[in-house]
Amino acid sequence: MARALTARRSAPGLWRLGRHFWPHLRGQWLLVLASLGALFAEVALQLLEPWPLKLVLDRVLASPKNGSGPAFLNALDPTIVLTLIAIGLVAITGLRALASYANTVGFALIGNRVLTGVRAAVYRHLQYLSLSFHTRSRSGELALRVMSDVGVINDVAVTAILPLAASTLVLFGMVGLMLWLRWELAVLALATAPLFWIRTVKLSGLIKEASRKQRQRDGAMAATAVESIGAIKIVQALSLERTFSDAFSSANAKSLRAGVRASRLSASLERSVDLFVAVATALVLWFGARLVLQHALTAGDLIVFLSYLKSAFRPARDFAKYTGRLAKATAAGERVLDVLEEQPEVRDLPGARTAPAFSGALRFQRVSFAYEAGSPVLDDVSFEVRPGQWVAVTGASGSGKSTLVSLVLRLYDPQRGAVTIDGHNIRAYTLES
C-alpha cells in the first residue's frame, strides 16, 4: 500500500475524487438539478437583500425630490413606501431561507446516497483484493478507511463544500454588481485579492499535508487498537499490555500534534483573511464616503456596495474557515481512492471460463513462489497427486506447506511454473468458480 501511496501522491486530490465519485453521482441527476436550482434561487435572493435598505435611505429618509428609486415609489407616501419595503424585506429573507433549506437538504441527501455507494464499493473491492494485499496491510487501518474516512468525506461535503459553492456563486454575482454600481470602488475592493491568494496558496498546502499526516496517524492508532483487542489473550499471556499501550499512546500523540498544527495553520489563514477584508472595507468606506459628500454617490448606493463587499469576501472567510476540514476530507478521500485503485495481483485472465467438476488430478510443475522478493518459499517444486490419492506434506514451520494449499486455492499465483488440475492450468478458470 505504501507503494501505491507514493506513486499517486502527485495526482490532484479533488480531480481523483471527482473521477471516482462521478458514476455514483450520475444516478442522482434529478436531485442534483433540483438542488442546484434552489442554490441559484438562494444566490439571486441574497443579491436582492441589500436593496430594500438602499430604498429606505435614498427614498424614505432622504428628500423625495432627489428622484432616486423606482418612479412609481416616488409618487407614493413615504409611510406606504416604508411598509412595502419592510414587507419586501421579509419576503426576500423568507424565500431565501426556503431556498437555502431546499438546497441544503437536497445536497445532504445526494452526499449520503453517493457516499453510501462509495462505502459499499470500497468494502466490496476489499473483498476481492489479493491475500498479499491484506497481508501487507493492517486490518484496523483498512477498517478506518471504510468507515471513518468515507464518513469524513460525507460530513465535509455537506457542511463545508456546499456553503463554499454557494458563497462562490455569491462572489461572482456581487463582484459583477459592484462593477456595475461603481467600478472604481470595485477595483479598490479587489486590491487585496492578490495578497489573499498568495497567503492561501502558501498555507493550504501546509494544512493539507498536516491533515494527511493526521489521518495516517489515526490509521496507525486504529490498527494498533484492533490488533491488540483482537488478540487480547495473547497480549495478556505474553504480558504485552504495556508494549501495545505505549504504541497506541505514541500514535495518539503524533495524531494530536498533526491536528494541532493543522488547526494553527487554519487559524492563521482566517486571521489573515480578516485583515485583508478590513483593509478593503476601509478603502471602500473612505473613498465611497467622499463620493457621497461630493454627491457623486448616494448613501444607499454606498450601503449596498459595502454589503456586497462583505458578502463577496465571505467565500474568502469560508475558505479560510473550512480549509482544514477540506484538507482532511481530501486526505481521507485519497486514502479511500488508494484502496479503490489497488489492483488485485490474482485476477481472472481474459477468456477465463467456469471450472467444471474435477476428477482431482493435481500437479505442480516447476513451481517457484516468494512472499517477498529474494526470499523464496518454494523453488522449482514439482509433484503430482492422482485422483483419490492421499499425500502427506511434512516440514518445519515456514517451509511452504500452507503455501502449497494457498496456490491450489489461487490465493496467490506462482512467480514461475504452473499448477494444473486434470491437465489444465488453474489460471484458465475464473476465481469465483
Q: Which residues of the chain have pLDDT under 50?
A: 1-12, 65, 67
Taking the model in full, what pTM does it have?
0.63
d(CA 159, CA 112): 12
Give residue 417's Cα distance to chain centre. Answer: 44
According to CATH, what is the number of the domain 2-340? 1.20.1560.10
pLDDT value of position 98: 94
Residue type, 293: L
d(CA 283, CA 286): 5
pLDDT value of position 10: 35
For the chain, the C-alpha Rg in angstroms (whole number) is 32
For the chain, domain boundaries? 2-340, 362-428
d(CA 214, CA 45): 40
The count of other CB atoms within 10 Å of the CB of residue 410 is: 18
pLDDT value of position 70: 59
d(CA 138, CA 120): 20
pLDDT value of position 94: 92
pLDDT value of position 95: 93
Angle at the Cα of 55 (from 50 to 61), degrees rounded to 5?
Answer: 125
Q: From residue 117, how far is each of 137, 151, 388 by CA, in Å?
A: 23, 12, 46
| DSSP code at position 145 | I
β pairing state of 375-385 and 362-372? antiparallel
Residue whose grid cell is 500452507: 402
d(CA 364, CA 98): 70
- Residue 375 pairs with which residues in a beta bridge? 372
DSSP 84-102: HHHHHHHHHHHHHHHHHHH
